[in-house]
Structure 1
Amino acid sequence: MISTEVTSGTQKNFDLGPEHITQLRALESLCFEYHWTEEQFRLGLEKKAFFVLGYEEQGMLIGYLAYSIVLDEMEVLNLGVHPEFRRKGIGRALMHDLMRRCREMDMKRGLLDVKESNIPAIGLYESLGFVQVGVRKNYYPDTREDALLYDLNF
């Protein structure tokens, strides 16, 4: 049995590629009701339309962060953490890694959207300095929920 506690030295962040799609899709199905297809992941990763950071503990993918880069802007597309490992700092670790990379690449701005009911994610993003700048009404296809739009200047 894998411990649900994140312990020092047993976890790592790494870049995911097309060879990780099976693991990525399995994790995503645990995290969200609405899933990207294998083809969406494959095309995005192979054509570098987006990138994915993974968080592994004891050989198991337990978190991921998908993002895109256009010119000097980064957009968070998806952030998912295995339900048994939530509220342990994994999402924050992935976001910190991404923000560090963005600063190294001289990105100017970070963008994301989040379901208005996702209070834990909103708390995370706001604690990292993201500021709400707008709302997209009925944005999410699975729930027709509004998306809150967030912005961060690096």
Structure 2
Amino acid sequence: MHKILELGIEHISQLRALEASCFAYQWSEDQFKLGLERKAFRVLGCEKDGMLVGYLAYSTVLDEMEVLNLGVHPDFRRRGIGKALMLSLLQKCREMEIKRGLLDVKESNHPAIALYESLGFEKVGIRKNYYPDTREDAHLYDLEF
């Protein structure tokens, strides 16, 4: 069982360390701080034995939700952590009466694509050369609640 919790400003150093282990391109401390302080986005975290091993940043505007980042520590991948974070988010969305979920994913990230499609997200478009680190295309996904 995965322990999912809402993360706040006090978790920024753990979040940044986790993100650095997951992605070549990371958010700055100020981006996390301002976003969390201003409630521009929220972050769910997954802890295992007191260690932050996964996180999911998302935003909500009116009745729409967008997944901004989903990262799982490389040593803990393929153990259901990403799915647990997504299921927790989708439950929160239902409680908040969100009508639509959006996300983008690198075209080469087949495990993430499989996860999102298994949860009902449907591919609706492509953004060419979207990601700054790899210039990869982003596949756009949509979920109607």
What is the TM-score of this pair, normalised by structure 1? 0.93
Alignment-derived partner of residue 103 in structure 2: 112
- Provide the C-alpha distance between the structure 2 equivalents of 1:150 and 1:13, rounded to a whole number of angstroms: 24
- Aligned-pair identity in percent equals 74
Alignment-derived partner of residue 137 in structure 2: 146
- Provide the C-alpha distance between the structure 1 equivalents of 2:6 and 2:30, rounded to a whole number of angstroms: 19
1:135 CA drift (Å): 0.3
Alignment-derived partner of residue 39 in structure 1: 30
1:42-121 residue pairs with structure 2 within 5 A? Answer: 42-121=33-112
- Provide the C-alpha distance between the structure 2 equivalents of 1:12 and 1:88, rounded to a whole number of angstroms: 13
- Aligned Cα root-mean-square deviation (Å): 0.5
1:94 CA drift (Å): 0.3
- Provide the C-alpha distance between the structure 2 equivalents of 1:135 and 1:70, rounded to a whole number of angstroms: 22
- Provide the C-alpha distance between the structure 1 equivalents of 2:30 and 2:92, rounded to a whole number of angstroms: 27
Give the counterpart letter for 1:147 in structure 2: A
1:79 CA drift (Å): 0.3
1:153 CA drift (Å): 0.5
- Provide the C-alpha distance between the structure 2 equivalents of 1:134 and 1:84, rounded to a whole number of angstroms: 32
Q: Structure 1 residue runs of 4+, over 6 Å off? A: none
Aligned residues: 145
What is the TM-score of this pair, normalised by structure 2? 0.99
Higher Rg? 1
Which runs of 5 or more structure 2 residues have no equivalent in the other structure? none
